[in-house]
Amino acid sequence: MTDQYPNYPPPGGPPPQQPYYGGVPNYGPPPDNNLVWAILCTVLCCLPLGIVAIVKSSQVQTLWAQGFHAEAQKAADDAKKWSMWGAIATGVLFLLYIVFVVVAVILGVSGSLTP
C-alpha cells in the first residue's frame, strides 16, 4: 500500500523523532549593538537620528536571545547606520554654519569699507 502512494506518510503517522537534548546551538556571541555610538550620536549630534539608533541597538540582544540571528545582525547594522548618518548630518550642518558665518563676516567687512 505504501508503494502505491509514495508521497503520503506511512500508515500510523510519521516515525517518532529522537528528542533533542543538545540545548541551544552555539551561534557565537551576539553582534555588537553599537549602543555607545547611538548614545553619543543622540547627545552630541542629531537627536532624532540618535533616538532611532538607540531603539535599533536595544533590539539586538532581544532578537539574539529569541533566536532571530539574522534580524539581530540587521538591527545592529541599522543602529550603526543611523548613528553614522546622525554624525554626518551634524558635520554637514556644522560646515554650512561655518560657511554662513564666513560669508556674513566678509559681507559685513566689505560693506563697512565702502563709503
Give DSSP secondary structure letters for 72-93: HHHHHHHHHHHHHHHHHHHHHH
CA 6 to chain centre: 47
Closest CA to 45 of 96, 94, 100: 94
Q: Which three cell numbers stand for residue 100?
A: 554662513
18: helix, coil or strand? Answer: coil
- Grid coordinates of 92: 554637514
pLDDT digits (tens, 9 = 90+) for 47-104: 999 999 999 999 999 999 898 999 999 999 999 999 999 999 999 999 999 999 999 9
pTM above 0.75, yes or no: no
